[in-house]
Amino acid sequence: MGKIEWAMWANEQALAAGLILLTGGIVGVAGLFRGWEFAAYSIAAGVFVCLLEYPRGKKNKGTSVERTGQYCFTVCVKAFGPLTRNYYVRAFIHAALAVPAGFMLATVLGCVCLGIASLIYLGAAISGEQWEPILPRTETRKAVGESIKQPPQNPPPRPPAEMRRKRAEDLEGAAYDNPIKVSTNEE
Amino acid sequence: MVLSFKSWVANEGGKHFVLILWLGANTWLFLRTFLTYSTGQQYYYLYKMLGLGLCISRASASVLNLNCSLVLLPMCRSLLTCLRGTHTLSSRGTRRLLDKSKTFHVACGIAICIFSVVHVSAHLVNVVNFSAFYSEDLPALNLARYLGEDPRMIILTTVPGITGVLLVVILFLMFTASSYCIRLSNYEIFWYTHNLFIVFYIILMVHMVGGALKYQTNVDTHPPGCLRPNQSSPELQGEELEPGNEERRCKEEARFHPHYPQTWMWVSGPLCLYCAERFYRYIRSSDPVTIVTVIRHPSEVIEVRMLKGDFKAHPGQYIVLNCPGVSSFENHPFTLTTCPTEEKETFGVHMRVVGDWTERFTELLLPKTGVELEILPMVQQRRYPKLYVDGPFGSSSQEVFNYEVSLCVAGGIGVTPFACVLHALLDGWKQFRLRRLYFVWVCRELQSFYWFSELLCALHHKLWQENRPDYLNLKLFVSQTEDLQSMSEEKYRPLSSRLSIGRPRWKLLFDEISNANRQKHVGVFCCGPKGISRTLHKLCNSGRYTGVTFEFNKESFS
């Protein structure tokens, strides 16, 4: 029922995978384990993936929830145009970034997670999704003249002043029809 | 806002107490396992080989065992509904804890994720150490087959390694699909990945098979650190052998045995319970319901009245609808607005048509007409789609009757649980503990009040006839102030005279309630937008009303 937007899930996965890569890379470099150059690479790859995936894309239907402070990232990512808009490109980038991380033990988990994210992005691309930036809506201000209704040109219809004055001797004649019905307040 | 201790304890005390208990259990388990592995005699050689990684990995494994077993329990909804209804939980405070079952599930889930990260990291270090410190003296102890074996090969060729990788992948999929954003927009992804839990648990139970970590079985005959027959102690070189040294000689070689897998002991109970619950719910909902009436209300709301054999529900409970004609696997929760009683066996829900499932469901039920109030009796040749109902499930709104004074705040369609409460009061109000009900309903448009205008007027009228005018205090608010609207019908006079334009002022309302109900516990029930419930929650905790305790209960669908 309804079209599932795979890209949103792939985005969450890629962000998590970027963080895992970053953590694994830091551990690998800090311990100077065998193959620590791959760990250094995966720190850089992790940071890049996090920056690329932090701004959430716009949903096709319904309101999109932004991540806090993502506006500047949105602007940066949007600047790359079709490279970031197209999900085939993203799937390929993630797959390519993941491969070197698989050569070191500390970062192999990040490699697997990023690989899964890349597969889901491929699925999203096949079903025709695209990354749209969430930009703040410019408020259209209604022209002041349209929102204020036309003030009336003529006074409301009333009988002349001498008829309106209450005459004690002729109360019935002084009465006039109210345009709006007045009813008593019954309890 | 001044935080009063008494109000805070009344509102938040219970769940914080449970949180502290849970954290304490986790900490105790972690420390106990850590100390066992770092100081235990049977792990002496293993500890020498692996170091701190051993202790951390095993300690986090025991915490994971605990949390994997606890995480399933809050999701046994039928069981919790049963607990809520029966008097096994006689204290209102304990029943309030059941409202937080989803939060507890999330807390256990997050703990599982965090400790999985710790566990995996520690085991990766272990694997590196196994490979680097392979010693010919203790080949049985080592998971590696030779010195310097590639750690990745060790992982991929042992059962714990492969199952571990699979578990991490499944956990990654489940965790990334559980964020609030995904649940809001693509609930199916969340639901289907979360149902991978059964695969997760099966793999978890075989994770320890082929034990990677072994303990020493013959500690008494081979005290750890004893000297081998051809070894001499480094301190005693050049000294004479003393009689006491005999004890330090090993009588035999150390023997090691892998651990017996323990996870199944923790996990199988809750897993069986949860599977039994799912099976019970499937059986219970396998009978389709008969749709009796469908009514279209203003502001895009339709009411569906149904009939099902042997269906019992209490006011405030909700049901889950599944319509295969719309979508085979989607289940949507709706609060009951009328419960079946002895006189009338039909029950009903009001649903707002927003979103593709409800739109398609409405199309199947009603033809596209412009008439607002159309009632289609069953006599007409109308083929309603098949509908399955799972439930009823309990929620916090069931407690409205258990306070002497209750404040019910509804926002828009959030009025549905309270509508059921009002229906129950219409049938008879004397048998409940409730003595006064404040009912605040905030809507965007005036037309929304027509959903329950008859019910409200009937209840108001009945209470006035029975000389209890103070029982029901109605306050209706229309939040959109642009177009001036009014309910002009004569029969809705009780409503139009209690209608205000603009948002309610909560502080004044709370002042009024506390002045009129001294020394009482007032139950505050909110079903509406987050803004309102946050404000009310803060006011309940603020404690500026001396003598009156406001207890906050929030309705939330999971």
3-state SS, A67-131, equals: CCCCHHHHHHHHCCCHHHHEHHHHHHHHHHHHHHHCCCHHHHHHHHHHHHHHHHHHHHHHCCCEC
Comparing A156-160, B61-65, B444-448, B527-531, the range with the smallest average pLDDT is: A156-160
Angle CA(B124)–CA(B53)–CA(A33) in degrees, nearest 5? Answer: 50
- Integer Cα distance of B384 and B364 in angstroms: 7
Cα-based distances in Å from B403 to B408, B426, B436, B550: 12, 18, 9, 11
- Contact state of B188 with A9 under an 8 Å Cβ cutoff: no
Residue percentage of chain A with pLDDT more than 90: 29
Tokens of B307: 């009939």
For B358, name the nearest residue in chain A, comparing CA atoms only: A1
pLDDT in tens, B407-432: 999 998 899 999 999 999 999 889 99
- Evaluate whether ipTM surpasses 0.90: no
Residue percentage of chain B with pLDDT more than 90: 44
pLDDT at A175: 63
pLDDT at A105: 83
pLDDT at B337: 93
Q: Which of A9, A33, A109 sits opposite B168 (nearest CB)?
A: A109
Higher pLDDT, B353 or B45: B353
Higher pLDDT, B132 or B380: B132
Which of B62, B63, B61, B70 has the alpha carbon at shortest distance from B164?
B61
- Contact state of B165 with A112 under an 8 Å Cβ cutoff: yes
The shortest C-alpha distance from B356 to chain A (Å) reads 7
Tokens of B278: 């799912």
pLDDT at A168: 59
- Integer Cα distance of A32 and A39 in angstroms: 9
Mean pLDDT value across chain B? 86
Cα-based distances in Å from B111 to A16, B26, B65, B114: 16, 9, 11, 5
Residues in A closer than 8 angstroms to B124, CB to CB, are 105-106
Read off the pLDDT of each residue in B84-106 and give the average, rounded to a whole number. Answer: 81
Q: Does A76 touch chain B (CB under 8 A)?
A: no
Query: From start to end of B170-221, where are the E strands?
Result: 214-216
Contact B323, B361 (CB under 8 A): yes
- Integer Cα distance of B265 and B261 in angstroms: 9
Q: Which of A27, A65, A108 sits opposite B181 (nearest CB)?
A: A65
DSSP-based three-state secondary structure for B395: coil
The residues, ordered by sequence, that sit 6+ positions from B509 with a Cβ below 8 Å of its Cβ are: B407, B438, B440, B475
Mean pLDDT value across chain A? 81
Q: Does A27 touch chain B (CB under 8 A)?
A: yes
Read off the pLDDT of each residue in A107-114 and give the average, rounded to a whole number. Answer: 91
- Contact state of B128 with A9 under an 8 Å Cβ cutoff: no
- Contact state of A105 with B127 under an 8 Å Cβ cutoff: yes
- Contact state of B175 with A2 under an 8 Å Cβ cutoff: no
- Integer Cα distance of B355 and B377 in angstroms: 27
Residues in B closer than 8 angstroms to A56, CB to CB, are 181
Residues in A closer than 8 angstroms to B173, CB to CB, are 13, 116
Q: Does A16 touch chain B (CB under 8 A)?
A: yes
pLDDT at A108: 87
For B186, name the nearest residue in chain A, comparing CA atoms only: A4
Which of B175, B183, B180 has the alpha carbon at shortest distance from A16?
B175
pLDDT grade, residue B245 (50/70/90)? Answer: low
The shortest C-alpha distance from B429 to chain A (Å) reads 25
For A15, name the nearest residue in chain B, comparing CA atoms only: B176
Residues in A closer than 8 angstroms to B186, CB to CB, are 4-5, 8-9
- Contact state of A9 with B326 under an 8 Å Cβ cutoff: no
- Contact state of B189 with A4 under an 8 Å Cβ cutoff: yes
Our CA dihedral for B498, B502, B506, B507, rounded to 10 degrees, sits at -100
- Which of A6, A11, A12, A70 to mutate: most B Cβ within 10 Å? A12
For B171, name the nearest residue in chain A, comparing CA atoms only: A113
